[in-house]
Amino acid sequence: MDGIGIYWRKRRVDDNIKFGINGFVTYEVQLMESAVEFVQKLAVKMRAKVFRTIGLLERFGPQLPAPHAKALKNYGGLKELRVKLGNNIVRLFYFHHEGRVYVVTSGYLEKTQKTNQREIERAIRLMNEF
C-alpha cells in the first residue's frame, strides 16, 4: 500500500464521460491523507473489503445503494460507505466534490450500528478544509 498518497487510483476523470470495464461510466475516488492512514492500519481482510467498496463507489457513484452507502441527513452532503466483516464495521465518510469526483475524508472502526457523532464532526471539518 506504499505510495497510495491521496489518490486511491491514479486515474484522471475530467469533464468528459469516462467508460471503464464493460462500458460502465466511472467516477474518480480520492482519499484524503487521514483516510489513507486509517485504511493502511486495517487488517488485510478488512482492507480488501474496503477497497472493494471504494471500487463500487467508483463504478456506481451516486447510484451506489444500501447497505454500501448512505447519505447522512443534515450534514451538508456528507455520506458514508459501510463495510462489514464479521462483527466489525468500518465507516468511511465521503462527499461529492465536483463532476465525477468523490473524496473520502476519514474513517473509523466500530462494533455497533450507531454512527459516532465526534467522527462525523471530524469528517465535516475535513470536508470543509478540502
Q: Where are the domains of the chain?
A: 21-129
Integer Cα distance of 60 and 40 in angstroms: 24
pTM comes to 0.79
Q: CA nearest 61: which of 19, 13, 28, 17?
A: 28
Per-residue pLDDT of the chain (130 residues; tens, 9 = 90+): 444 444 444 344 343 445 555 556 689 999 999 999 999 999 999 999 999 999 999 999 999 999 999 999 888 889 999 999 998 999 999 999 988 899 999 999 986 667 788 999 999 999 998 8
- Name the CATH superfamily, with its identifier, for domain 21-129: RelE-like (3.30.2310.20)
